[in-house]
């Protein structure tokens, strides 16, 4: 995919000739004696991802982008330094969390929504996020299981220890264990998290699992 971007070139040429030869491609303005010719150039528009490599939700977006073949301009967003609380960031995402995708002006937060969007918008086919209602529902079920249960319980248990310095809470740990047992149930007899092939549910769940593993 790509779109036209305007490159402003100041060049002293005969404007009439330029217009005649390239009517559709060249736009111009003529301030004072200079002729300004605007050449639209085919180029990839920026797709910025505000992210941190240590963040599980950000990594699931990275995995999806890679699978879909979308190049992202990675914007390191240092939460410790409060980059997510700066006015410009808050304008994009009042929820002050990463990841945030800015796809040439289309701004989207929530990792699972970003992954779905990348597949719907850019993938060659729908295998990563099927259009078939039942298949898609199954993928969504896994995504919602992750956001509401697995990833949430990981956050509840580990982040209170890591960032708030709280003592490990055995009740929270057993809730996390229960979430892992549920995931094992979903995976019984199958290779992928939802259906018969790799989907964004796998990208989502594997990043939660890997974050829990290293914590």
Please report, as ranges, the residues that interact with ligand GSH according to CB under 6 A. 55, 57, 79, 84, 96-99, 110-111, 147
Q: How many angstroms separate the CA atoms of 64 and 208, rounded?
A: 14
The catalytic residue among 10, 29, 55, 116 is 55
Cβ proximity to ligand GSH, 115 vs 194, nearer residue: 115
Q: What's the closest the beta carbon of residue 159 comes to ligand GSH, in angstroms?
A: 9
CA atoms within 13 A on the CB side of 11: 13
Q: What's the closest the beta carbon of residue 153 comes to ligand GSH, in angstroms?
A: 13
Q: What's the closest the beta carbon of residue 114 comes to ligand GSH, in angstroms?
A: 7
Cα 2 to chain centroid distance, Å, stands at 18
**Which pairs with CB-CB distance under 8 Å and at least 24 residues apart come from 90-96?**
92/50, 93/50
Nearest alpha carbon to residue 127 among 183, 190, 205, 203: 203
Cβ proximity to ligand GSH, 112 vs 135, nearer residue: 112
Q: Is 21 a catalytic residue?
A: no
Helices 111-122, 200-214: axis angle to 10 degrees equals: 150
Q: Is 69 left (phi over 0), alpha (psi -120 to 50) or beta?
A: left
Task: Look at the alpha carbons of 128, 155, 163, 170 in this order and tell me if their dihedral is positive or negative.
Answer: negative
Nearest alpha carbon to residue 203 among 214, 189, 193: 193
Cβ proximity to ligand GSH, 57 vs 195, nearer residue: 57
Cβ proximity to ligand GSH, 15 vs 79, nearer residue: 79
Q: What's the closest the beta carbon of residue 111 comes to ligand GSH, in angstroms?
A: 4
Q: Which residue is nearest to ligand GSH (CB)?
A: 97
Active site residues: 55
């Amino acid at each position: 995919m790509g779109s036209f971007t305007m490159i402003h070139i100041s060049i002293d040429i005969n404007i009439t000739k330029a217009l005649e030869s390239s009517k559709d491609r060249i736009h111009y303005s003529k301030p004072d004696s200079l002729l300004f010719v605007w050449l639209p150039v085919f180029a990839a528009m920026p797709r910025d991802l505000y992210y941190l490599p240590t963040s599980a939700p950000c990594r699931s977006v990275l995995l999806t982008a890679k699978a879909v073949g979308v190049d992202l301009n990675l914007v390191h967003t240092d939460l410790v330094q409060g980059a997510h609380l700066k006015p410009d960031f808050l304008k994009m995402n009042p929820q002050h969390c990463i990841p945030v995708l800015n796809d040439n002006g289309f701004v989207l937060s929530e990792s699972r929504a970003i992954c779905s969007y990348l597949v719907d918008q850019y993938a060659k086919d729908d295998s990563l996020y099927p259009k078939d209602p039942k298949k898609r529902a199954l993928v969504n079920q896994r995504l919602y299981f992750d956001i509401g249960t697995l990833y949430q319980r990981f956050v509840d248990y580990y982040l209170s220890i890591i960032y708030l310095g709280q003592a490990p809470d055995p009740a929270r740990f057993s809730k996390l264990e229960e979430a892992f047992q549920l995931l094992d149930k979903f995976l019984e007899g199958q290779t992928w998290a939802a259906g018969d092939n790799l989907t964004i549910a796998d990208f989502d769940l594997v990043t939660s699992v890997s974050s829990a593993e290293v914590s």
